[in-house]
Amino acid sequence: MTRMDFHIHSDYSDGTASLEDIVTEALRWRLEAIGIVDHVRGDADWLADRQRQIDELRGEHGDELEIFSGIEVKVRDEEGALNVLPQATEKVDFVIASFHGVPRSVEERMEGGDRDALVDWWHSCTRILLDCGHDAHILGHPDRILVDRALSVGSARMKRLVEQALASRMFLEWNPAAAYPVQPFATALAERGAPNVTYGSDAHSTSELTDALRARTDYEAGIVERGNQAFLSILREDRGDLS
């Protein structure tokens, strides 16, 4: 069984664990690979400093644990653009795109009585992202923004999305913190044996990381096995290209 987690927040953004704490916990659980992911809007002046620390930890623990750097950025507008600048994405190994807030224009449509505005926005942006329109590697907690509001795209659109996701170069995250265990999109993909579902605990502390690892079932581990391996291979290749 592969043991990887590609979505762990540190105290460089809204997490409480230091990079050192995260690595210690990952080693304790004998994880093979982790992605340290922090929220970035536009660019962040601490990215270079975090990278230096990650490189040091790689030097110390690289033979036991592969450590990657990532950022989580939000989908900003109705075209699915990400709230990030190229100079930030160039500094990290991978980018997670997530639906966090709702753009003002979509909110206004909802206030104006368009009850489908949010679902329609999510649906069209997800299609754009799956087409790799914005250079993100992973779609974080894919449909949590809908699940949280008890919304759904409906079975016909979900079916087409699953087909598109199966053919996409993008990875989709199995995120236990996202309305667990109700993850319609990731579950539908898993049922199709998708090769591009990665695991991300979205832990914001070492105790959340421990809880997620403890709670991880064989079912869950099975869903993410192929995707984690495939994503790890891509990260390794990309790093090879850099050095």
Taking the complex as a whole, the smallest distance from the CB of residue 90 to Zn ion amounts, in Å, to 21
Report CA 140 to chain centroid distance, whole Å. Answer: 3
Q: Which residue, 98 or 183, has its beta carbon nearer to Zn ion?
A: 98
Nearer to Zn ion, 93 or 202 (CB): 202
Q: Which is nearer to Zn ion, 70 or 184 (CB)?
A: 70
Distance, in Å, from the CA atom of 139 to the CA atom of 142, rounded to the nearest integer, reads 6
Backbone dihedral angles phi then psi of residue 69, each to the nearest 5 degrees: -105, 135
Q: How far is the CB of 133 from Zn ion (least distance, A)?
A: 19
Answer for which of 10, 53, 69, 98 binds Zn ion (CB under 5 A) is: 98
Least distance to Zn ion, CB of residue 99, Å: 8
183-212: contacts with Zn ion (CB under 5 A): 202
Residues 24-83 that bind Zn ion (CB under 5 A): 72
- Residue among 109 and 173 whose Cβ is closer to Zn ion: 173
Interface with Zn ion: number of residues (CB under 5 A): 3
Chain residues in the site for Zn ion (CB under 5 A): 72, 98, 202
